[in-house]
Structure formats: structure tokens, C-alpha cells
Amino acid sequence: MNSAELKIKAAQIRMDLLRMIHGAKTGHTGGSLSNTDILTALYYRVMNIDPARPKWEDRDRFIASKGHSVESLWCILADLGFFPKEELKTFSQFGTRLIGHPNNKVPGIEMNTGALGHGLAISVGMALAAKRDGRGYRVFCLMGDGEQAEGSVWEAAMAGAHYKLDNLVGIIDRNRLQISGSTEDVMGLEPLEEKWAAFGWHVVSVDGNDVDELVRVFEEAPAAAGKPTLVMANTVKGKGVSFAENVPHWHHHVPNDEELAQALAELSAAAEAWKQEGQVR
């Protein structure tokens, strides 16, 4: 996909996840909207994957350590054909596979995640296995910024640098809000980039809602031989929905009928604008 196509796809995924959350009457809306551009860049442009062979040994791996924001991931996996799109209507319903966190009973999901602080350690193990088995796949791990308060994140960070895992890319969805408010009020993180650099990682800061920047950084990894990469993706919580952006209440707010209609109208207009931009270019 080119730049305009990626932006249009991200808008479509945001519309899908809002419909899904609205129908289920539950979900983590704000974080899923903020991470959509990250996942769109990875799944539609960067990662080497095959929906027809979800267990292909040389596939790139993605671990959603911030597993509570799974809605965008479910919508992308369905859109790519890992499972039928119709199944999105069962999200968080009794007996569904599509629960509120990644579930490895679903094709395309590597590990059950959601208990924050575990995803990076899992990713370190996968990346180390690739090195020792002589395989060329990369491992991408998406973390939340509130998750950085977990000590296990930093243990895994030390291990990733120690084993020189330059096939590992950690991504922080740095939207600066968590369930109880600002990350800096709950548990101050700054200077976060310097901390990761001190732990031996190659740190790159990007606009996490700019698919062009994200693609460039992801495709350049590893930019430093012998070092894992940490992408500080500076995002806006609730991105794409004007009245949800940077509003803590939208962490797990379910849109009502009126809010859904307004959000879909905004996203549809944005997609149409990007479509016109793509045609002009």
C-alpha cells in the first residue's frame, strides 16, 4: 500500500473498531484508536506474514503487550483474512474467540497477553530463538506507556540488549494517558527515551499517528547492529475522533448512537480526503 492507501485503511479500521465496540457495549476505545496507525503500518506494509499460513516458521511475529487495546488488532486480522470478518460481531459475547485481550486460539495471535509487563519478555524469547535457530524473522512488541511502570519491562529490556537482539523492535504507544489519568501524574516516566537508551537500546522517536514515519522507521530496523530498537511512537489517545482525542474518559468509554454516528462521519470524511489526495499525486 502507498501512503494514501495506508491512511485510508487506518480510517476504515478505526470505523470498524468503533462499530465493534458499540455493538458489544464494551471495549478499550481510546488506546485502540491511538495504536491503529502503528498496526496499519506493520500489517499492511512492513511485516512478512501470510494469513493463509499463520504458523509459517519464518513469519514476523507481533506481540500486543498492551493487550487491552486489542480491538484494532481484531479488525486488522479480520480484514486480512486470518478469520471471517463476520466474526467481529461476536466480540466480547458469550462463547466468542474474540475476547477483550489477544487469544491465541485465533489465527494470527502468537500469545495470550494483557497482563501488562509480560509481552516484551515473550518477545525477547522469540527474538533469541530466531537468532539461535538462524532464522531471519523479526519480532515486534507493542507496549503501553502506562505499562512502563512494570518492573518486568525493564528486566526484559536488559535481556534484549544483553543478547544483542537487533531483530527485536519494541514500540511504545506514548499517548501519555492511562486509565487513571496522565502517566506523569500516576507514575512519572520521563526522561523515557534516555532510560531506554541507557538500557542499551537504539531509540527512535516518531509521530506515532503518521504512517509514513512509522513505515520508514520500521523498515530501517535494525538501524544499529547488535542493538534492539525502541520506537517511541508519540500518539494521541482517541486519535481520529475529535471529541475523544486526549480525553481520559475515552480509555474504555463505549460510544453511544450519536457519538458513533459523529465519529464515523469524521473518519469517513478523512478517508475521502486522503483518497482525493492520493489521486492528485
**pLDDT given at position 280:** 47
CA dist 165 and 88 (Å) reads 35
Half-sphere exposure of 5 (CA within 13 A, CB side): 6
Per domain, the residue ranges of the chain are 3-280
CA distance 280 to 255: 34
Do the Cβ atoms of 98 and 24 come closer than 8 Å? no
Distance in angstroms (rounded) separating the CA atoms of residues 190 and 184: 8
Nearest CA to 107 out of 79, 137, 83 is that of: 83
**pLDDT per position as a tens digit, 209-256:** 999 999 999 999 999 999 999 999 999 999 999 999 999 999 999 999
Classify domain 3-280 at the CATH class level.
Answer: alpha beta
Mapped onto helix, strand or coil, the DSSP state of residue 173 is strand
Q: What is the pTM of this model?
A: 0.96
**Is the pLDDT confidence value at 109 over 90?**
yes
pLDDT digits (tens, 9 = 90+) for 192-216: 999 999 999 999 999 999 999 999 9
pLDDT of residue 181: 84
| Helices of type H across 48-139 | 71-80, 119-133
